[in-house]
Amino acid sequence: MTIFLQSLISGILIGGVYALIGIGLTIIFGVMRVINFAHGDLLMVGMYGTFYLFTLFNIDPFISIVITMPLMFLYGGFLQKVFINRILGALPQNQILLTIGMGLIMSNGIMLAFTSDYKILSTDYSSSSFDILGISISTPLLISFAITAGITVVLYWFLLKTDTGQAIRATAQDREAAQLMGINVKRMSIIAFGLGASLAGTAGALISPTYYIFPQVGSTFTLKAFVITVLGGMGSIVGATLGGILIGVAESIGGVYFGSGWKEVVVFVLFLLVLLFKPSGLMGKSNT
């Protein structure tokens, strides 16, 4: 029982970060109907930013997100304005080519600049943990989960209560009607991609004390983000939140009970099972 609880809690903690990655991807998809295959690479850029802020300026990774978040937002907004806004009406395969290409340029650019060596961001709490009722909780994971929860709450508030947030949702629900309300949908797209990039970069920052940092680390996370988003229902933010936690828990429990080599299998079996019974995802609308 302790083992189960242990893996459940570890899963939830890491799932929070996954949720952040998935929410970013789902916002981008919701507003633009574009699947961002560079999502993991944005996360990777966030990791490198965090790593160098730490090694060069000695800024703690959890504090440096106040720098990474806005910078990644601007970077994402720039990518949207310069590249993605041009292909919004294009064929899906062209959109896929563009985002994959952007991802390749990011990972190879980073490789060129910083070599492909694995880097480790080691803080004095990187491997520290504490016990509650016999369950050991990793300090960095707990801190990152708390930050994730905070960001998610603020994000929900932004999307539900502010004019800009509502305009983003309106654009996602009916782009043409949004235009007829006087909403500048291109601007909403820039904000949406900025948000997505910012969330991906923040997730990268949050996991950097516990993950290896290397230029190709993004591809794993692009796949993960995709699974989370589809599992939750494309475009659904609540779905991505649930999906992230669920994938985190499945990985963690799978790793403990079947061995770490099998955890991906557990994740994908769960993924296929959900899609088998609810093809549109947990929170998806069946007719869209």
Partner 1 sequence: MLTIDKLNFSYGDLKVLWDINLEVHEGEIVTVVGANGAGKSTTLKNISRLVKPTSGSITFQGEDMEKLESHQVVERGIVQVPEGRKIFPEMTVLENLRMGSYIKSARKAREANVERVFGMFPRLKEREKQLGGTMSGGEQQMLAIARGLMTNPKLLLMDEPSLGLSPLFVKIIFEIIQEINRQGVTILLVEQNVFQSLKIAHRAYVLETGRVVLTGEGNDLLSNEHVKKAFLGM
CB of 185 or CB of 230, closer to partner 1: 185
Task: List, as one string, the DSSP characters of the chain.
Answer: -HHHHHHHHHHHHHHHHHHHHHHHHHHHHHHH----TTHHHHHHHHHHHHHHHHHHH---HHHHHHHHHHHHHHHHHHHHHHTGGGGTTS-HHHHHHHHHHHHHHHHHHHHHHH-S--EE---TTTT-EEEETTEEEEHHHHHHHHHHHHHHHHHHHHHHHSHHHHHHHHHHH-HHHHHHTT--HHHHHHHHHHHHHHHHHHHHHHHTTTSEE-TTHHHHHHHHHHHHHHHH-TT-HHHHHHHHHHHHHHHHHHHHHH-GGGHHHHHHHHHHHHHHH-TT-TT--TT-
CB of 208 or CB of 236, closer to partner 1: 236
CB of 86 or CB of 186, closer to partner 1: 186
How is residue 106 written in tokens? 């990011």
Q: By CB under 8 A, what part of segment 121-180 binds partner 1?
A: 163, 166-167, 169-170, 173-174, 176-180
Shortest approach of partner 1 to residue 167 CB, angstroms?
Answer: 6
How many residues are recorded in the chain?
288
**Size of interface with partner 1, in residues (CB under 8 A):** 18
Shortest approach of partner 1 to residue 92 CB, angstroms?
Answer: 19
Shortest approach of partner 1 to residue 177 CB, angstroms?
Answer: 4
Shortest approach of partner 1 to residue 202 CB, angstroms?
Answer: 26
CB of 25 or CB of 185, closer to partner 1: 185
CB of 108 or CB of 278, closer to partner 1: 278
| Cα 231 from Cα 225, distance rounded (Å) | 10
Shortest approach of partner 1 to residue 82 CB, angstroms?
Answer: 18
Among 32, 183, 231, 242, binds partner 1 (CB under 8 A): 183
Shortest approach of partner 1 to residue 95 CB, angstroms?
Answer: 21
Among 66, 181, 265, 269, binds partner 1 (CB under 8 A): 181
Q: Is position 89 an interface residue for partner 1 (rule: CB under 8 A)?
A: no
CB of 180 or CB of 276, closer to partner 1: 180
CB of 32 or CB of 250, closer to partner 1: 32
- Per CB under 8 A, residues contacting partner 1 are 163, 166-167, 169-170, 173-174, 176-186
